[in-house]
Amino acid sequence: MGTSRNPGMLAVTAGVALAVLFALLGVTGVLDARIGFGMAVIALVVSALIYIFYSRADAVEKTGYGALLFIIAIAFIIPLLIVNQQQAQATQASAQYQLTLQRGAALFATYCASCHGFQGNGKAGPKLNNNDSVNKLTTNDLSRIISAGVPNPDDLTKFSMPAWSEAFGGPLTDDDIAYLVALIRSSDPQYRATNNLGDVNGFSYVLGTLTDPTQIAQYEEDKKGGSKPPLTQFTDLSTLTTVHMDAEDAATTSTANWGWVAQEATSGQTSDIIVKAGTTIIFGNKSSAPHNVFSGNGTPDGKFGDPNIIPANSTQTFTVTLTAPGEYPFYCGIHPAMVGWITVVP
Ligand code: HEC
């Protein structure tokens, strides 16, 4: 009986196993689905031909099937070449994208960091590194704002931010603007996810572009959150049950164009106050720009805050009652240089 056994059976078993493997790779996305299924079909056909080859006794027939087998086996190479090509293209695209971000980071350090901070966390200009309201802008709007600048709403002959594109008398080319837009976009995790851009926030390349030691020192300074101001800087408002903390233009409490000012403090402007547990803090906005407020030292710590914007010069407020004694630094999410500190005592 052993002699009647077709050795091609072994090939069929192997072919089916390979076909299942390729189909699985296709389904799970390890291989492109079309390539996975293509390879599976080829594996089945080749193993079937091997089986037929062994089942023929006639030499001419055997030669015919042998030739066919050879041709189909060679077909295996085609999907492999396609995979290779696709991978090469993907690698090139990702290297290209990385270069774009690095160029954006270098331009940002040179032209934008003085107002927006080396990490894009905001100074005189707003936060650009993963700022909700900037993330909501379309790419076109973002390029337009950077190209043409932002006119000062109080005096249209002046700019809150200058125009950057050559077309508007600035120093940057359209390519430069595109690099900067890509950099800012890359700081939005959701944008990265929807566009399959991996996990790199381009602002992480900024440090690598700096050579000047004073710039590097400034970069480190921009990166760390502020520490608690000296006690002498605090105003004791612990006799009050309600304190109004309003954003004001040209406040001395901030390096930005706007700062928080405790309205009940009588000697000079301050955003650093001591209050009793149970005091209600009402955050308002008397300034010419929109603001919001979060507790935390540069990043929200979740104790209080509201991403909703309090419009410029409005009567809208954000109110919180601080019942637990402790330290409550706070800042504006759009202009993180607008900081303040509330110490709550029992
Ligand atoms: C001289 C300071 C200054 C420099 C330098 C500067 N900006 Fe600005 N930028 C501002 C200010 C101030 C605003 C806010 C204007 C407003 O809305 O009142 C702003 C706003 C923006 C906005 C809009 C943000 C938003 O919330 O809508 C973007 C985007 C921006 N800047 C990008 C850049 C880029 C990119 C560079 C570098 C090429 C740059 N800025 C350089 C001061 C500056």
d(CA 310, CA 301): 20
Amino acid, res. 292: N
Ligand 1 atom at shortest distance from the alpha carbon of 181: 35
Residue ranges lining ligand 1, Cβ < 6 Å: 111-112, 114-116, 124-126, 128, 133-134, 142, 145-146, 150, 160-161, 164, 180, 289
Ligand 1 center–CA 48 separation, angstroms: 67
Specify the pLDDT at position 202. Answer: 95
For 281, the token pair is 């803090």
d(CA 246, CA 168): 36
Specify the pLDDT at position 336. Answer: 80
Ligand 1 center–CA 120 separation, angstroms: 10
Per-position b or e across 147-172, b if 16+ CB within 10 A of its CB: bbbeeeeeeeeeebbebbbeeeebeb
Among protein residues, the one whose CA lies closest to atom 37 of ligand 1: 112
Ligand 1 center–CA 93 separation, angstroms: 29
Specify the pLDDT at position 253. Answer: 85
Ligand 1 center–CA 196 separation, angstroms: 27
Specify the pLDDT at position 2. Answer: 45
| 295 contact partners, CB below 8 Å, separation of at least 6 | 301, 302, 303, 304, 305, 328, 329, 330
Ligand 1 center–CA 110 separation, angstroms: 14
Specify the pLDDT at position 333. Answer: 86
| Residue-by-residue pLDDT tens, the chain, 346 positions | 445 677 788 889 999 999 999 999 989 888 888 888 888 988 898 888 888 888 888 888 888 888 888 888 787 788 778 878 888 898 898 899 999 999 999 999 999 998 888 888 877 788 899 988 899 999 999 999 999 999 887 777 778 889 999 999 999 999 999 999 999 999 999 999 999 898 899 999 998 999 888 888 777 766 655 567 778 888 999 999 999 999 999 888 877 789 999 999 988 899 999 999 999 999 999 999 999 999 987 777 889 999 889 999 999 999 999 999 888 999 998 888 889 999 999 8
Give how far the C-alpha of residue 328 lies from the chain's centroid of Cα atoms, to the nearest Å.
27
